Amino acid sequence: LGEKAGVILEGHGAIAAGKTMKAAIVASDNLERTCEIYLIVKAAGDVKQLPNGPLEDLCVWSRKDRGIM
């Protein structure tokens, strides 16, 4: 998974990881919620990608919060 907390494998499902059991459960919950939000947005129309700046800031914060950086 590298720096990522979760991934969806085609034909297998979702996998989430963390340094502790609690972190893994949070990552799994976040992955599930992200998928739900994506499906809701997709049902409403086109999915628009966030600009790289704010998205990268969010990724950096998330990695620090998970103890990866």
pLDDT by residue for the chain (69 residues), tens only, comes to 777 788 889 999 899 988 889 988 988 998 999 889 888 988 998 878 778 888 888 878 877 877 765
Q: How far apart are CA 47 and CA 43, in angstroms?
A: 9
Q: How far apart are CA 65 and CA 69, in angstroms?
A: 8
Q: How far apart are CA 38 and CA 29, in angstroms?
A: 14
Which tokens in the block code for residue 54? 């704010």
Q: How far apart are CA 15 and CA 46, in angstroms?
A: 26
Give the pLDDT of residue 11.
Answer: 92
Is the whole model's pTM more than 0.75, yes or no? no
Q: How far apart are CA 61 and CA 55, in angstroms?
A: 10
